[in-house]
Amino acid sequence: MTPSPVLNLLVSNDDGIFSQGVRTLANTLAAAGHQVIVVCPDRERSATGHGLTLHRPIRAGMVEDVFDPRIKAWSCSGTPADCVKFALHAVMPRYPDFVLSGVNHGANLGTDVLYSGTVSAAMEGLIEGIPSVALSLVSFTATDFQPAADFANCFVQHLWRSPLTEPTLFSINIPAVPADQIAGVKLTRQGLQRYSETFEERYDPRGKRYYWLAGERVKEIPQPDYLRLNRRIPTDVQASQDNFITITPLQYNLTDINGVNTIEKSNWLDHLNFN
């Protein structure tokens, strides 16, 4: 039997350094014998996307008595993307084998990935050429992150033994059910969700008006044929509803290949009157 590899891992998140999800993930990986460094925001930075801190200093310091003693952990005042940049260029002596982000408290399905700090932390690793994994628990209220952490350990070992030809970001969503109730694992494509978004008007104690973004997911929207890749591959939204662990490969290149091909094969640009 092939011995388990000892991996050099960077762990980050967007829920903050004291969140239960990242603590469970990092401690599980350390208990499996991996070398783990944690760099996370000093507070919750959900839905910050891929923002960077450019107009004020980033403050960071080591954190003790939160994680397994074998783990070196840092708290950072910046965004999730800042945390990974800081870790790679100021903390770690060499690049890690993998960057892991999570486990997020709440799903990152469909268009959620465009806003997600969890996914953006992992995306920063991919930009640096490091295979990366974003992990999310499909619940805002469940508190058992252990099945997700156990799957993460299994997944990185499998990825080490059977790497893809190019570095990839895997967005993984784990259903919030006991491990024996998980239906299985499915390769998925990114879905498209619609939200009923409202801005609640409120007033502060001084009588000044402010607004609070609210809303919830209404439904999944059918995608154009050219985005469906292969009809046999379900969307992450569909598979997650059936209690499957969903694995969606993502990339940072947002070029619309179909749009490029359509324009290139037509005379569409010929009618653009620039001067």
- 15 labelled binding-site residue: yes
Cα dihedral: 60, 64, 68, 72 (round 10): 40
Q: What is the DSSP letter of 14?
A: S
- Residues in the chain, overall count: 275
- 104 labelled binding-site residue: yes
User: Distance (Å, rounded) from C-alpha 161 to C-alpha 40?
Assistant: 28
DSSP helix, strand, coil percent of the chain (3-state; round to 5): 30, 30, 40
Helix runs in the chain, H state only: 20-31, 80-86, 117-127, 146-161, 236-241, 257-265
User: Distance (Å, rounded) from C-alpha 180 to C-alpha 257?
Assistant: 41
- 82 labelled binding-site residue: no
- Annotated binding-site residues for a divalent metal cation read 14-15, 46, 104
Residue stretches of the annotated binding site: 14-15, 46, 104
